[in-house]
Amino acid sequence: MKVGIVGLGLIGGSMAKAFNEAGNEVFAFDTDKSVLGIARLSDTVKGELNEKTIPSCELIIIALYPAACVKWLEDNAKLISQKTLVIDCAGVKRVVCEPCFNIAKKHGFTFVGGHPMAGTQFSGFKHSRANLFSGASMIVVPPKGYDINLLDRVKTALSPAGFAKLTVTSDEEHDAMIAFTSQLAHVVSSAYAKSPTALRHKGFSAGSYKDMTRVARLNEDMWTELFLENSDKLGDEIGRLITELSAYKKAIDSGDEKTLHELLAEGRRCKEAAEK
């Protein structure tokens, strides 16, 4: 299978390596020509994804920031075969899926929104690896009124990446869920790391500190765009957290042992219920 990868960062680079290792011909595009050169020298990529190679690709994976995903598809839609399956990997879906569904419909190819649930605190092609998605979930947002066979097509096309399951949802539900499971965690980690006490933590910290600060080492360019593109959903989650934290602070400041005990017990019960 001929596969096109747009963007050779952590996600796109890992996709390229996974598909290459599975014996596919991989063509790629990246705005940084040096990254594309490294990918070619390492034999991860066979050639550049351009006006000559786009028409022959059976699968195109767009691994760019949300606005750039839409822009690339707009600019190159006329080159894409009607037999091609196009999947994006952006971290928000509403601002990507609606315009991309329209572009695909106009030009006769199939677009499916996607978001791989895998990653690290590091970015860039140098940190990418072929097994990044092994055992992970791939969130899929199909177009409205899709043929059920489309999911089998997506599953087959993405099989070289090693995903354990496809999670099918709408763009609205995706953005609401990801505001809680991913974006809020990054906001909290970033804010937590700003305490002056963090500069003196060595010798006093173990797993809890590492868990809380792992994703503070983020790519601020990407996450700024993702947060603002999902501001309504993320703002709601931050508001809920502030309300909960205020209750804890009030109980602690006033020495209210009974209320604090119940708040902690309630949190434990919520965690246990969520893990069932």
Q: At which residue do the structure tokens 């092994």 appear? A: 134
**Mean pLDDT score, 21-38:** 96
Residues 44, 180 within the same domain:
no
Q: What is the CATH number for 242?
A: 1.10.3660.10
Provide the domain limits for residue 198: 174-275
**Does the pLDDT value for residue 56 go beyond 80?**
yes
The mean pLDDT value of the chain amounts to 96
Q: Which of 137, 169, 201 is the last residue of a domain?
A: 169
Torsion of CA 247, 253, 256, 262, to 10 degrees: 30
Residues 143, 182 within the same domain:
no
Q: What pLDDT does residue 120 have?
A: 78
Residues 149, 38 within the same domain:
yes
Q: What is the CATH number for 52?
A: 3.40.50.720
Residues 10, 48 within the same domain:
yes
**Mean pLDDT score, 71-88:** 98
For 152-170, the pLDDT digits (tens) are 999 999 999 999 999 999 9
**Mean pLDDT score, 197-206:** 92
Name the domain count of the chain. 2
Q: Which of 152, 169, 186 is the last residue of a domain?
A: 169
Q: What pLDDT does residue 208 have?
A: 95
Distance CA 233, CA 213 (A): 23
Residues 17, 59 within the same domain:
yes
**Mean pLDDT score, 171-187:** 97
Residues 114, 134 within the same domain:
yes
Residues 101, 165 within the same domain:
yes
Say what percent of the chain tops pLDDT 90.
Answer: 96
Q: How far is CA 200 from the centre of its chain?
A: 33
Residues 29, 57 within the same domain:
yes
Q: What pLDDT does residue 122 have?
A: 79
Question: Beta-carbon neighbour count of residue 167 at 10 Å?
Answer: 14
Residues 8, 116 within the same domain:
yes
**Mean pLDDT score, 3-25:** 97
Q: What pLDDT does residue 2 have?
A: 98
Give the Å distances, CA to CA, from 245 to 8, 194, 256, 265.
39, 17, 15, 15
Residues 139, 184 within the same domain:
no
Q: Which of 169, 192, 217 is the last residue of a domain?
A: 169
User: Which residue pairs, CB below 8 angstroms and at least 24 apart, start in 249-256?
Assistant: none
Residues 134, 219 within the same domain:
no
Counts of helices then strands in the chain (DSSP H, E): 11, 8
**Does the pLDDT value for residue 121 go beyond 80?**
no
**Mean pLDDT score, 140-149:** 94
Residues 33, 96 within the same domain:
yes
Side by side, the strands of the sheet bearing 110-116 are 47-48, 25-29, 2-6, 59-62, 85-88, 110-116, 137-141, 165-168
- Residue 276: which pLDDT band, with cuts at 50, 70 and 90? confident
pTM greater than the 0.85 cutoff: yes
